[in-house]
Amino acid sequence: MRIRKLYPYMFLLLGGLIYVLMPGPLTAAAMAPDPNFVERPRTEFKTPFAFTPFTEDLPIPPVVQPVAPFAAQCGFDLPQGMSLMEPKFYEVVIREATVQIIPGVDTVIWGYDGQYPGPTFKAYHNEPAIVRFHNDLDVTAIVHNHGAHVAALSDGSASLHPERLILPGEFRDFCYPNIAPVDPETGVQDMSDFGSTQWYHDHAHLPDVDLGITGQNVYMGLAGYYLLFDQLEQGLIAGGVLPAEKFDIPIVLQDRVFAADGSLLYDPDADNFAGVLGDVFVINGKAQPKLNVERRKYRFRILNGSNARFWELRLSDENMKFVQIGNDSWLLGEAVAPVSVALDGKRPNTIHLTPAERADVVIDFRDAPDEVFLENIVVHDDGRRPASIARSGTPVLKFVVMGPRVEHDVTVDVGTPLRPHTAIREDEIVRTRVIEFERKGGLWAVNGRFFDPHRDDANPEPGTAERWILRNVGGGWAHPIHIHLEAQQIQSLSRRELAPQERFKKDTVRLESNEEAVVFIKFRTFTGRYVFHCHNIEHEDMAMMGVINVGGEPQTPEELRRLEEELEAAQERRRALEEAGKL
């Protein structure tokens, strides 16, 4: 495989903490510390295989099955007096496997249980899952359950807890309680925040060199679904509102580049750390597959699992509509007709997804023609942001529609109530923080600083709500911002209106260039250290990450004064940007 285990620019060292920054862009000539470095032509990053698309079936990942109980290393760290059902135990081996992503081409991947994408977890409310992940690779791994409400030590938050890294040949246990956040006033779980479509993926960051390898590990295949069910969602399914589990299909969107020997090519420094893009569209681990469907409604849990690529999806038949029922981890308050709201305009009936975002949608095939394509209309050929929207989309998945029309199908439609939504109120907000994301010194920074696992960037008090102003001051770059542990409720976006599907909860917020998002977030149930970061994974690996310490050392008067000053300076900067017409 064509992976560099450690990138040639080992510029990130000095006591493991201090970044050595070179003036100007990071080029091979400027850094040149690696005698083995060979500058390669960009043509090397073009896949040299031609194939006929839509000949192979869309793979459906198997469901992980429980094993006999074992003595777990992890705990749930729940509030006192809270009890759960008996846990279920699972064992998963992270290992190499040879698969065919492109028909007829053997490719080595790294997979959970050797599967790409990984097997699907199905978990139930209040029924904890304890998962033992064994690492049979020769690289370090760790697992983050994206969207999960879990104790800090089971969150897989990069190198904040280095003892949680799964070293080669070792295993670590992760404890997922499968609960909703506990309301600090009532002590009761707030089921309006109970998740539905989470995904688990690698999140490794090497503490000895302060370097992320998440991009490499996810690119090689380490990602899968973690689905949650509770009485409410099971009621919607049993009551004939939402499609049954048999018609509930995961769709992971990814892009990959292949070398001539069939191996996956991964090299973030080839593109100046802008973000790694592929030229083959891979859906559930297959290049442009097909799926046979009946003439009925299907639920598709679509995940942008790409490292850096933005996708915007539409259906080839203009008469067919998406009905969106979930966004990121959660079901919506009510089903909506999705709209893509971008800087270049609004496009109804399309689904825009930046890395890590999910859209849970229902598609009605009852009156569909025999062939329907899911198309991607984004033209995205450098890591910073999509270049344009294509009039003629690229078909990425073919639906082969068969059989008679199913009468009396499930009832979900635009406006159908789903999970009641509890809005965080303005009067609950106890603090405002400004978090600015920018390119700096060839890397990626948060509030002017690079990720330091030893520094707290925010110390919210448990049980309180905060206003976070997420601002992209990086000019031409777009950043999907992911905050661990709790949902974000978007209040406003500075450069576009809020789409109907963005009005409820998000765990990944897209910041367009020079855009500002005001979000409310409430910290409940757990204390400890978690991360927030850009989910362009190369940006994350290259330092665009910060630390939240819930209930950490109370901020000293000096720190609070500094926060006030930062806020004032940020407001000043905002005014300047506004005057310059840049926000």
**For residue 202, what are the contacts with CB-CB under 8 A and spacing of at least 6?**
141, 142, 143, 144, 214, 217, 218, 222, 223
Residue 288 CA to its chain's centroid (Å): 22
- The nearest distance, CB 22 to Cu ion, in angstroms, is 21
Binding mask 206-245 for Cu ion (x = CB under 5 A): ----------------------------------------
Nearer to Cu ion, 479 or 522 (CB): 479
The count of other CB atoms within 10 Å of the CB of residue 404 is 9
- The nearest distance, CB 206 to Cu ion, in angstroms, is 20
Nearer to Cu ion, 525 or 536 (CB): 536
| Window 532-571: residues binding Cu ion (CB under 5 A) | 534, 536, 539
Outline where DSSP puts E strands in 147-222.
Answer: 171-176, 197-202, 205-206, 211-212
Nearer to Cu ion, 196 or 214 (CB): 214
- The nearest distance, CB 281 to Cu ion, in angstroms, is 22
Nearer to Cu ion, 354 or 459 (CB): 354
Nearer to Cu ion, 262 or 275 (CB): 275
Nearer to Cu ion, 534 or 570 (CB): 534
- The nearest distance, CB 162 to Cu ion, in angstroms, is 24
- The nearest distance, CB 472 to Cu ion, in angstroms, is 8
The b-or-e profile of 227-266 (16+ CB within 10 A means b, else e) is: bbbbebbeebbeeebbbeeebbbbbbbbbbbbeeebbbbb
Nearer to Cu ion, 91 or 538 (CB): 538
The count of other CB atoms within 10 Å of the CB of residue 79 is 13
44-52, 281-289, 332-340, 475-483 -> range binding Cu ion (CB under 5 A): 475-483
**Structure tokens given for 274:** 């802008």
Closest by Cα among 67, 84, 66 to 75: 84
51-59, 345-353, 370-378, 479-487 -> range binding Cu ion (CB under 5 A): 479-487
- The nearest distance, CB 471 to Cu ion, in angstroms, is 13
Nearer to Cu ion, 482 or 539 (CB): 539
Nearer to Cu ion, 197 or 536 (CB): 536
Site membership for Cu ion, residue 309 (CB under 5 A):
no
- The nearest distance, CB 441 to Cu ion, in angstroms, is 15
233-241, 280-288, 381-389, 530-538 -> range binding Cu ion (CB under 5 A): 530-538
Nearer to Cu ion, 421 or 440 (CB): 440
21-29, 261-269, 474-482, 546-554 -> range binding Cu ion (CB under 5 A): 474-482
The count of other CB atoms within 10 Å of the CB of residue 581 is 7
210-218, 245-253, 476-484, 507-515 -> range binding Cu ion (CB under 5 A): 476-484
15-23, 202-210, 450-458, 473-481 -> range binding Cu ion (CB under 5 A): 473-481
- The nearest distance, CB 355 to Cu ion, in angstroms, is 9
Number of shown-chain residues binding Cu ion (CB under 5 A): 4
Nearer to Cu ion, 229 or 273 (CB): 273
- The nearest distance, CB 516 to Cu ion, in angstroms, is 15
User: What φ, ψ does residue 244 adopt, rounded to 5°?
Assistant: -70, 165
3-class secondary structure per residue, 455-518: CCCECCCCCCEEEEEEEECCCCCCEEEEECCCCEEEEEECCCCCCHHHCCCECEEEECCCCEEE
Nearer to Cu ion, 189 or 472 (CB): 472
- Ordered DSSP codes for 348-415: ET-EEE-TT-EEEEEEE-TT--SEEEEEEEEE--STTS--EEEEEEEEEEEEEEEEEEPSS-----TT
Site membership for Cu ion, residue 479 (CB under 5 A):
yes
Side-chain half-sphere CA neighbours of 360 within 13 A: 25
Check if the beta carbon of residue 85 is closer than 8 Å to that of residue 128. Answer: yes
Side-chain half-sphere CA neighbours of 343 within 13 A: 18
241-249, 406-414, 483-491, 527-535 -> range binding Cu ion (CB under 5 A): 527-535
- The nearest distance, CB 477 to Cu ion, in angstroms, is 6
**Structure tokens given for 243:** 């499609």
Q: How far is CA 546 from CA 3, 115, 401, 493, in A?
A: 27, 31, 46, 22
| Window 443-472: residues binding Cu ion (CB under 5 A) | none
DSSP secondary structure code for residue 62 in this structure: P
| Window 387-406: residues binding Cu ion (CB under 5 A) | none
Q: Element (H or E) spanning 235, and its range?
A: helix 231-238
Check if the beta carbon of residue 180 is closer than 8 Å to that of residue 137. Answer: no
Site membership for Cu ion, residue 434 (CB under 5 A):
no
- The nearest distance, CB 268 to Cu ion, in angstroms, is 12
- The nearest distance, CB 443 to Cu ion, in angstroms, is 11
- The nearest distance, CB 430 to Cu ion, in angstroms, is 28
Check if the beta carbon of residue 399 is closer than 8 Å to that of residue 372. Answer: yes
Nearer to Cu ion, 161 or 479 (CB): 479
Check if the beta carbon of residue 375 is closer than 8 Å to that of residue 390. Answer: no
Largest pairwise CA distance in the chain: 70
- The nearest distance, CB 554 to Cu ion, in angstroms, is 31
| Window 38-77: residues binding Cu ion (CB under 5 A) | none
User: In the beta sheet, which residues pair with residue 133?
Assistant: 92, 172
> How many H helices and E strands in the chain?
5, 35
Nearer to Cu ion, 127 or 269 (CB): 269
Check if the beta carbon of residue 354 is closer than 8 Å to that of residue 510. Answer: yes
- The nearest distance, CB 536 to Cu ion, in angstroms, is 4
Nearer to Cu ion, 297 or 439 (CB): 439
153-161, 323-331, 459-467, 529-537 -> range binding Cu ion (CB under 5 A): 529-537
Residues forming contacts to Cu ion in the complex (CB under 5 A) are 479, 534, 536, 539
